[in-house]
Amino acid sequence: MDLKTTCLIVPLAPLAGAIIAGLFGRRIGRAGAHSITIIGVLVALVGSLLVANQVLMHGQSLNEVLYTWSMLGDVPLQIGFQIDPLTVLMMIVVTFVSLMVHIYTIGYMHDDPGYQRFFAYISLFTFSMLMLVMSNNFLQLFFGWEAVGLVSYLLIGFWYTRPTAIFANMKAFLVNRVGDFGFLLGIGLVLAHFGTLDYAQVFAKAPELKGETIELFTGTPWLMISVTCICLFIGAMGKSAQVPLHVWLPDSMEGPTPISALIHAATMVTAGIFMVARMSPLFELSDAARSFILVIGGTTAFFMALVATIQYDIKRVVAYSTLSQLGYMTVALGASAYGAGIFHLMTHAFFKAVLFLGAGSVIVALHHEQDMRQMGGLRRYMPITWITVLIAAISSAGIPGFAGFFSKDLIIEAVHGADLAGAGYAYACVLACTIVTAFYTFRMVFMAFHGEPRMDAHTREHLHESPWVITLPLVLLAIPAVVAGYLVGPIVFGDFFGGAIHYSPDHPVIHELAEEFHGAGAMMLEGLHGAPFWLSALGIAIAAYLYLFNPALAGRLRHWFRWPVRILENKYGFDDFNQTVFAGGALKTGSGLWKIGDVGIIDGALVNGTARLVGWAAGWMRGIQTGLIYHYAFAMIAGAFVLLTVWIWMVRG
């Protein structure tokens, strides 16, 4: 089988599964639906591995058009694949996590009436995400981009009778649309200035267009590439939930937990990171755009991590943690360390999936209780869940030896070495964030799994470890959450990405790091001396003291710091602001335009006013038509008199 056929099968297999489970779900039943979709995703995973083998071992690559979607004047808009190491890495992450989540779903959703629908959705998601990462052009990228947004919308609102869920999914879609709005403008600028939407052609033309300017405001020329890149990055801010477009992600936790793991942690939210890495030949040309990225990423990383420290809902802790970690990846992109960003994307996909799925395992065991104050001591009842979550937490906190350490440490080092405007701020953010990350992650572990059980007696009696369909994915995902880190050498510093990621010679951050890099083992030893490690250790120690040894103090601290805590509880007021200003403002404007503009002026004054005027005139005319002959005779004489007068006047004049 040649590479193109394999590549075609990879996305189409999950699509076929989705269509069958979606259209014939009732007929094939629950087992039928999960079997067919799991087979579809399994085929996709195997296909991805075959492709990886071809690309990585045999050095093949593929950039091929499948069909012409439409011509736009002389510009062909096409659907096609570009397969290179970056694509391959994403394909494997997506299909592997998706497969795990498919299996996990059998356990998590086993008593849900929408079982088949759920499998159809997650397979459809897998298809969309694969189309996104395999694309060789901006059109298909946007296709996948919005399609994953659609599935996310459908899945957040999966339990569509819940008011919170259907509010959250609309919010998610609209906030993402704000991002897509920027993204589409970026694509428009690309087409306008490069004359094509094909990646390879755009990237080839980029260097010669790097000096081109556009005047958005007369008199102030801006670099075209910078405007384009910032527009594209606004798209990434929506999808990858960067401040201030992050507001939808915490609410997306209204969806079932498996999709929180798959879509809102491991894959879809990283699409923005992937996109920027894919566009590295463009972003490398714009310091302004990368400065912007650094500031946004740093802000997201640190300030969202702070919110996680006060949450009690176990899923929300993980959600804010995801926001913060996405901030890390974004910072990496801004520091021109695309490889490190993608590497963190991969390790994060594994450890965050475990955290979410572990949280889900706990939630199921406690009959859909998500409040950590009702948990405690779960390690005795759920040892496998506990161990896997613990591993993921250590990885997340960046303790040497675990995957998260390698990727996170690299990012901190990279931004330390960057010399763009905003790099200092971003460095401070990500460094300070390490202590917060360690704190909230272990706060969660300690509150849920350690200490005294706080759930009611009835629940405690029925506590038991989740079935194998839930624990198996946890274990299978926990393994790469540890070992994936050891790929750091080949992936980040080797020529793994080849030409897929472009580093400008002016931004030698990765090369400088590569010179200092002497293998994963040395990096670990070095990490033990570094500030990030000690900050993480301190964070864990604080969490342990507050939540294991002196729980009363935690409550008192919350009271002492009640003002900052309130700010965090209000999530810095973003939601209130958006609700009042944007949502409320749009409704008020719309209502005003309608009532005053359409109903009042156009219809009321002009249209019906004209009709009234005509009606009034007609009434007046009707009054003249009396039907009395001497009235008409008088009118005739008067008319003749007037005409005669005018005639004489004109003849004489």
Partner 1 sequence: MRALQQGIEVQHSDSHTHDVAHGAAHGGDHGDAHQSGAAASMTGNPLWWGFGLLLIVLAWLAGRVLPVAGVSWLSVSIWLPIAGGVLMLAVGGDPARAGLVRQIALGSAVLGFLATVPLYVGFDVTAHGMQFTELSPWVERFHIQYHLGVDGISLVFLLLNSFITVLVVVAGWDVIRDRVSQYMAAFLIMSGLMNGVFAALDAILFYVFFEATLIPMYIVIGIWGGPNRVYAAFKFFLYTLLGSLLLLVAFVFLYNASGGSFSIEDFQNLPIPLETQKWLFFAFFAAFSVKVPMWPVHTWLPDAHVEAPTGGSAVLAAIMLKLGAYGFVRFSLPILPDASHAFAPFMITLSLVAVIYIGLVALVQTDMKKLVAYSSISHMGFVTLGFFIFSAAGIEGALVQMISHGFVSAAMFLCIGVLYDRMHTRNIADYGGVANRMPVFAAFMMLFAMANCGLPGTSGFVGEFMVILGAVQFNFWIGLLAASTLIWGAAYTLWMYKRVIFGAIANPAVAALADIDRREMVVLGLLALTVIGAGVFPAAMTDVMHVSIADLLQHLAQPKY
Binding site for partner 1 (CB under 8 A): 26, 67-74, 113, 139, 142-143, 145-147, 150, 153-154, 157, 160-161, 163, 166-167, 170, 173-174, 177-178, 180-181, 184-185, 187-189, 191-192, 214, 216, 227, 586-587, 589-591, 593-594, 597-599, 602-603, 606-608, 611-612, 614-615, 618
Could you tell me which of 54, 81, 88, 47 has the C-alpha nearest to residue 497? 88
> Least separation, in Å, of the C-beta of 321 and partner 1?
28
CB closer to partner 1 out of 490 and 590: 590
Q: From the CB of 647, what's the least distance to partner 1, in Å?
A: 31
Closest separation between CB of residue 599 and partner 1, Å?
8
76: which strand partners?
Answer: 71
Give the span between the Cα atoms of 362 and 367, in whole angstroms: 9
CA distance 183 to 537: 40
Which is closer to partner 1, CB of 377 or CB of 600? 600
Minimum Å distance from CB 12 to partner 1? 13
Check: CB of residue 69 under 8 Å from CB of residue 260.
Answer: no
Residues 105 and 258: beta-carbon distance below 8 Å: yes
- Report the residue number, 154 or 206, with the smaller CB distance to partner 1: 154
DSSP labels for 531-582?
HHHHHHHHHHHHHHIIIII-HHHHHHHHHHTHHHHHHHHTGGGHHHHIIIII
Strand partners, 220: 217
356 contacts 370 by C-beta, under 8 angstroms: no
Q: What is the DSSP letter of 137?
A: B
How far apart CA 295 and CA 479 sit, in angstroms, is: 33
Query: Is the CB of 271 or the CB of 477 nearer to partner 1?
Result: 271
Smallest distance, Å, CB 606 to partner 1? 8
Smallest distance from the beta carbon of 613 to partner 1, in angstroms?
12
Contacts of residue 174, defined as CB under 8 A and 6 or more positions apart, other chains included, come to: none
Nearer of residues 50 and 170 to partner 1, judged by Cβ: 170
Give, as one character, the DSSP assignment of residue 465: P
Nearer to partner 1, 59 or 163 (CB): 163
User: Residue 340 in contact with residue 468, Cβ under 8 Å?
Assistant: no
Phi, psi of 589 (to 5 degrees): -60, -50
Min separation Cβ 272 and partner 1, Å: 17
For residue 499 the two structure tokens come to 């030409």
Nearest-approach distance from CB 574 to partner 1, in angstroms: 17
Which 3 state secondary structure label does DSSP give 454?
Answer: coil
499 CB contacts (<8 Å, ≥6 apart)? Answer: 84
Using the minimum distance from each CB to partner 1, give the nearer residue, 5 or 591.
591
Closer CB to partner 1, residue 220 or residue 461? 220
